[in-house]
Amino acid sequence: MCTYTTIAAPVSGSAKGPGGQWFHVTDATVYFDHPVHAMDEHTLNIDLSDPSRGPGQRVALELTAASARELLAAIAAALDAAPDELTA
């Protein structure tokens, strides 16, 4: 069953994309659906992109639900370990 729930969020950062080139990312799109490449029935899919530079300027992740939760916990732990003045 697909939820068709898609969450978009503005982001500011960089990603290493096609050809090993770094590019600025401005948008994150997150949804739980059928993957394109991963060998699972459903995955949490995350696209980081800069739409102003065309569809090729994106990095895509397809993570199992368990992996996505592990990543979420790792991100929270890394941010919590940094001094407040660096993450404000």
Residue 3 pLDDT level (bands cut at 50, 70, 90):
confident
Length of the chain measured in residues = 88
Residue 58 pLDDT level (bands cut at 50, 70, 90):
very high
Per-range mean pLDDT, top range of 3-7, 49-53, 69-73? 69-73
Residue 4 has pLDDT above 90, yes or no: no
In the chain, where the domains are located: 6-87
Residue 12 has pLDDT above 90, yes or no: yes
pTM: 0.87
Cα(10)–Cα(13) distance, rounded to whole angstroms? 10
Residue 23 Rama label (left phi>0; alpha psi -120 to 50; beta): beta
